[in-house]
Amino acid sequence: MPELVFFSGTMDCGKSTLALQIEHNRSARGLKGMIFSRDDRAGRGKLSSRLGLVTDAVEIRDGQDLYAYLVDHLSHGGRADYVIADEAQFLAEEQIDQLARVVDDLGLDVYAFGITTDFRSKLFPGSQRLVELADRVEVLQVEALCWCGARATHNARTVGGVMVVEGAQVVVGDVNQADTIGYEVLCRRHHRRRMTAASEKAAALSPDVLPVQAV
């Protein structure tokens, strides 16, 4: 039976990497996927991971009906054997409902990837709706680490390396960008105490691209 599966976790836990792996595995077997994304770090219409992998995607717009988009695509001879939706936390609740309808009415598997909570430790509306509707919720097992080395469980927003707890829920930035708006993963203790890597002069443990050392 087709399923709506929500893969969740903090930043840096490999969500987009897994989305790209699912796409690779299925396309290698001759299947064709419809890939949606929103506000990806690589720009509009992209799905990328911090490992440096990237593929094209359909950029989701405010108010866009994802079910109607799939129906129109299929009605005009397009093919879609499954759906991937990355950065699903940024979707509106009704768009999550539309993805559920894709599963139920079109018979397609939908794999949604997203962060569960924002920098204030509050649920994103899209993620909350996914938890409510998904056939399965998979918490990714690749553990992101706080600067202290403990398991990271919370996402923090920083401005100039200083953690902030007020502001708009969605502000696009990147991890470890100390001179501007950035994001960092922290354990609960250091999130509660607002202690970031920069404030504690700790080395960053999660660079954008994994270092490669010649042997």
End-to-end Cα separation, the chain, in angstroms: 47
pLDDT (0 to 100) of residue 141: 65
Q: Which of 122-126, 135-139, 181-185 has the lowest mean pLDDT?
A: 181-185
Supply the pTM of this predicted model.
0.74
Distance CA 163, CA 214 (A): 36
> How much of the chain exceeds pLDDT 70, in percent?
86
Q: How distant is the alpha carbon of residue 44 from its chain centre?
A: 15
Give the confidence band of 206 by pLDDT, cuts at 50, 70, 90. very low
> The tokens 């219409």 sit on which residue?
45
Distance CA 2, CA 15 (A): 21
State the catalytic residues.
87
**What residues form DSSP beta bridges with 159?**
162, 181
> The tokens 């401005």 sit on which residue?
159
Residue, of 152 and 210, whose pLDDT is higher? 152
Residue, of 112 and 200, whose pLDDT is higher? 112
Distance CA 158, CA 160 (A): 6
Note the pLDDT tens digit of each residue in 30-74. 999 999 999 888 789 999 887 778 899 999 999 999 999 999 999
CA angle, 90 as apex, 85 and 95 as ends, to 5°?
65
Four-CA torsion 40, 19, 174, 8, nearest 10 degrees: 110
